[in-house]
Chains A and B, each alone.
Chain A
C-alpha cells in the first residue's frame, strides 16, 4: 500500500463512483451536454453580434469617408498646382477641417498622403498614425480603389487600438493624394466585451441551473431505487418487517408496491419455515428425551444380564450377547439420527475455540486404537511439524476424525491407515488414507450420502450406522470447511478435511492435496471431488 493516492488510483476511485452513482452520472451527462449546447449557441451569438457591429460601423465609416472625400476633392481643385507650398497648407487645413467635422461613425482621425513626384508626404496629427496605415491598404488605394481594413493603430504614448481604416484616393489633377479615415474600435470593443461577459455568465448560470435541475430530477427518480436497495438489504439481513414507503401512483409507486408485496410473501414463507424448523427442533428434542430414558433402562438391564451371562444356559447367554450388541447399535443409530435431524432443523450450533488439531488427532487415534487393532490395521500419524491451532468446534472435529478413521479401518483390509495433519496461515487440513478396496469412479461423491454403503453385501462388522460420513460432511460445512474423498479400486481411498484457521473465514485452498502424493497421476493433479 502506498501512503499517497496515486493519480491512477484517484482516477480509479472516480471511475468507480461514476459507475456506482446513477444520479451523478445523469447530472454530469446533463451538465456536459448542456455545456456543449451553450458554448455553440454563445459562439454563434457573439460572432453575429460582432459582425453586426462591424457592419454598422463600416457603413457609417464609408459614408463619412465619401463625404470627406468630396470636401477634400473640392479643396484640392481650388489649389493652383504650381504652388507647392499652397498645396501643403491646403492639405493641412483640409485635414483639420475633416477632423473637426463630426459624423455618424463616431470618433475618428484623418491621415492623408500627398505624393508629388516620387515622394510621399504624410499629413497627420501624429506621425505614428500615418505609419500605422498598413502597406497593403495603401497599395490598394494607390491602385485607385476605395478600400477598408482592420489594423492596429498606434495613438502615440504607447497606446494602440484596433481601428477600422477606410482609404480612398482623392482624384486630383495636381498629384496623387490619398485620404484615410481611422475609426478606433475601442468603444465597439468595450461593448463587445460587455456582451461577451454577459453571454459567458448567463451560459454558465444556465449550465449550473440545468445541472441542478438534472441532479434534482435524477434524485427524485433514484431515491426510491436507493430506498428499495436499502430495504432489500435490511430484508436480507433478517429485518423481515421492513417495507418501502409508497407515495403517489406513478411507476415508482408501482415499484414500491410490488417490492412490498414480494417482501410480504417472503416474510410469510420464512415465518412458515421458521415455524416448521422450531416444530422439528422441538420434536427432535422430545423424541430424544422420550426415547433415551427407556433406552437407558434397557441398556443398563442388558449390561447387567451381559455381565452375568456365564451363569446362563448357552442359548440365553447368546441371546444376552445379541441383546447387548443390538442395543449398542440401536443407540448409535438413534444418536446419529438425532444429530442428522438437528442439522435438518437448522439447530446445529458451532462452538468454536482455538484447538490444536495435532493433539486432537492424537487423542482420537488413542481412542480408536482398540478398534483398529481388532481389524489388524495400524494407525500411522505423520510425525512432526508445529502445532496446528485452528478455531474449531473440538467435539465436532473429533467426531469427523473419528468417523474418518473408523471408516478407513473398516474398509482398510487390515492395512495401515495413514493420517496427516498440516496447516498454514489460512487453512488446516487432515487427511486419512487407507489402502483397502478403494472407491469406484463416481463413488467419491456418493460416500457422503445417508445410509450409502460401498458394497451392500459387506458385513456391518463395526456396526456403523451409515450416517457417519453424512454427519461428518454436515460438521465440516458448519465450520465453512470441506470434506472430500478420493479413491480408486484396489488402491484405497483418501479423505481430506479442510478447515479455516479463523472461524468464519472462507476457504480458498487446502494445505494438503486430495490425491495421495507418491503415485499421483499428473494429469488429474488439480481435480477436485
Chain B
C-alpha cells in the first residue's frame, strides 16, 4: 500500500493531530515545520502524497508547491485557511491537485487523500485517442506523433475521462465526481484551473484549444480529430 504522507505544516498541534488521524487510517506520516526545509524533506522521504499548508514561515506554501511540482508528479493536497478564489486558484495553479479548507473534518481529509492515492489503481490496458493525441492508459503515457507529453496523474485522469466518452459533454460537476472523487458537487474552480493546466501542456495553442474543448455554459468535451 502506498502510504507515505509528508505533512508540511508549521502548527505543531495541528501537525500532531494530523499524524494521529493519518496513522489511525494506516498511513505513514512524516513532518516538516517550515518551507525552507520542505524540499529536502521531500527528497529524503519520497512520499506518495504531500499535505501542504499554504501559510508557512520561510518559503511560502506556493513556492514549496512549485518546487515540488518542478521535480515530481506526486499528488499535492493543500491545506488552506483562505477560501477566497484568488488564494485557492493561486495554490492550484502552482501545482496542487486538490485542497481542503480549514477547519476540515478528519473524514473529509482522509477522503481527499485516498482519492488522490487511488489514482491509476485498476487501470486496464487500453488505447485511447483525443484530438491528435494517443493515450496508453496502462503505461500512463500520452504521445503526439510519437513525442511523449509529461502529465501529472491527475491531469492524465482528466484527459482519460474526456477521451473515454468523446461524444459526451462533461459538466464540471461530473468531472469533479469522476476525477476527484467528490460525491457531492464541490468547487468547480478545481476543474477550471486543472483544465487550464492540462491545456498548457497538451494544446499546440492553448488560446484555441483542439484537445479539450469548452462547451459554454455546460462544461467540457473531447476534441475530435
Given A295-B102, A296-B104; A304-B173 close (CB under 8 Å): no
Q: Is the CB of B184 within 8 A of A366?
A: yes
Q: Is the CB of B18 within 8 A of A289?
A: no
A300 to B18, CA, bound (A): 8
Given A304-B20, A389-B217; A293-B187 close (CB under 8 Å): no
Whether A285 is near chain B, meaning CB under 8 Å from some CB there, is: yes
Instruction: List B contacts of A293 (CB < 8 A).
Output: 11, 14, 81, 102
Instruction: List A contacts of B79 (CB < 8 A).
Output: 296
Whether A50 is near chain B, meaning CB under 8 Å from some CB there, is: no
Q: Is the CB of B82 within 8 A of A289?
A: yes
Contact mask for chain A residues 302-330; partner B; CB cutoff 8 A; 1 contact, 0 none: 01100000000000000000000000000
Q: Is the CB of B184 within 8 A of A351?
A: no
A359 to B18, CA, bound (A): 36
Instruction: List B contacts of A288 (CB < 8 A).
Output: 81-82
Whether A394 is near chain B, meaning CB under 8 Å from some CB there, is: yes
A150 to B17, CA, bound (A): 126
Whole-angstrom distance between the Cβ of A296 and the nearest chain B Cβ: 4
Whether B105 is near chain A, meaning CB under 8 Å from some CB there, is: yes
The 8 Å CB contact of A285, one of B82, B103, B109, is: B82
Q: Is the CB of A354 within 8 A of B216?
A: yes
Instruction: List B contacts of A301 (CB < 8 A).
Output: 17
Instruction: List B contacts of A300 (CB < 8 A).
Output: 17-18, 20-21, 105-106, 109
Whether A292 is near chain B, meaning CB under 8 Å from some CB there, is: yes
The 8 Å CB contact of A303, one of B84, B106, B173, is: B106
A50 to B185, CA, bound (A): 100
A285 to B85, CA, bound (A): 13
Whether A349 is near chain B, meaning CB under 8 Å from some CB there, is: yes
Instruction: List B contacts of A363 (CB < 8 A).
Output: 173, 184-185
Q: Is the CB of B104 within 8 A of A354?
A: no
Q: Is the CB of A331 within 8 A of B81?
A: no
Whether A299 is near chain B, meaning CB under 8 Å from some CB there, is: yes
Within 390-426 of A, Cβ neighbours of B (below 8 Å) are at: 394-395
Instruction: List A contacts of B106 (CB < 8 A).
Output: 299-300, 303-304
Contact mask for chain A residues 349-375; partner B; CB cutoff 8 A; 1 contact, 0 none: 101001110010001001100000000
Whether A297 is near chain B, meaning CB under 8 Å from some CB there, is: yes
Whole-angstrom distance between the Cβ of A385 and the nearest chain B Cβ: 16
A304 to B105, CA, bound (A): 10
Q: Is the CB of B217 within 8 A of A292?
A: no
A294 to B21, CA, bound (A): 15
Whole-angstrom distance between the Cβ of A500 and the nearest chain B Cβ: 16
A456 to B105, CA, bound (A): 31
Whether B55 is near chain A, meaning CB under 8 Å from some CB there, is: yes
Q: Is the CB of A349 within 8 A of B85?
A: yes
Q: Is the CB of A359 within 8 A of B171?
A: yes
The 8 Å CB contact of A292, one of B21, B103, B107, B218, is: B103
Interface residues on B, range: 20 to 34
Q: Is the CB of A294 within 8 A of B55?
A: no
Instruction: List B contacts of A367 (CB < 8 A).
Output: 184-185
Q: Is the CB of A296 within 8 A of B173?
A: no
A395 to B85, CA, bound (A): 11
Whole-angstrom distance between the Cβ of B178 and the nearest chain A Cβ: 16
A359 to B185, CA, bound (A): 11
A394 to B13, CA, bound (A): 35
Q: Is the CB of A294 within 8 A of B13?
A: yes
Most-contacted residue by chain B among A293, A296, A366, A367 (CB, 10 A): A296
A366 to B185, CA, bound (A): 10
A472 to B60, CA, bound (A): 34
Whether B24 is near chain A, meaning CB under 8 Å from some CB there, is: yes
Whole-angstrom distance between the Cβ of A118 and the nearest chain B Cβ: 113
Q: Is the CB of A296 within 8 A of B14?
A: yes
A349 to B81, CA, bound (A): 18
Closest chain B residue, CB of each to CB of A393 = B85
Whole-angstrom distance between the Cβ of A58 and the nearest chain B Cβ: 95
Contact mask for chain A residues 480-524; partner B; CB cutoff 8 A; 1 contact, 0 none: 000000000000000000000000000000000000000000000
Given A293-B11, A395-B187; A303-B107 close (CB under 8 Å): yes
Whether B127 is near chain A, meaning CB under 8 Å from some CB there, is: no
Within 65-116 of B, Cβ neighbours of A (below 8 Å) are at: 79, 81-82, 84-85, 102-107, 109
Closest chain A residue, CB of each to CB of B53 = A293
Closest chain A residue, CB of each to CB of B218 = A356
A293 to B11, CA, bound (A): 8
Q: Is the CB of B85 within 8 A of A351?
A: yes
Q: Is the CB of A303 within 8 A of B81?
A: no
Whether B148 is near chain A, meaning CB under 8 Å from some CB there, is: no
Most-contacted residue by chain B among A285, A292, A367, A394 (CB, 10 A): A292
Closest chain A residue, CB of each to CB of B186 = A395
A331 to B102, CA, bound (A): 10
A283 to B21, CA, bound (A): 31
Instruction: List A contacts of B20 (CB < 8 A).
Output: 300, 304
23 inter-chain pairs at a CB distance below 8 angstroms, sorted by A residue, are A289-B55, A289-B81, A289-B82, A293-B14, A293-B81, A293-B102, A295-B102, A295-B103, A297-B11, A297-B13, A297-B14, A298-B103, A299-B106, A300-B17, A300-B105, A301-B17, A303-B107, A304-B20, A331-B103, A363-B184, A363-B185, A367-B184, A394-B188
A294-B14, A299-B103 given; name 19 further pairs at CB < 8 Å.
A289-B55, A289-B82, A292-B103, A293-B11, A294-B13, A295-B102, A296-B79, A297-B17, A299-B104, A299-B105, A299-B106, A300-B21, A304-B21, A304-B24, A349-B84, A354-B216, A356-B217, A363-B184, A363-B185
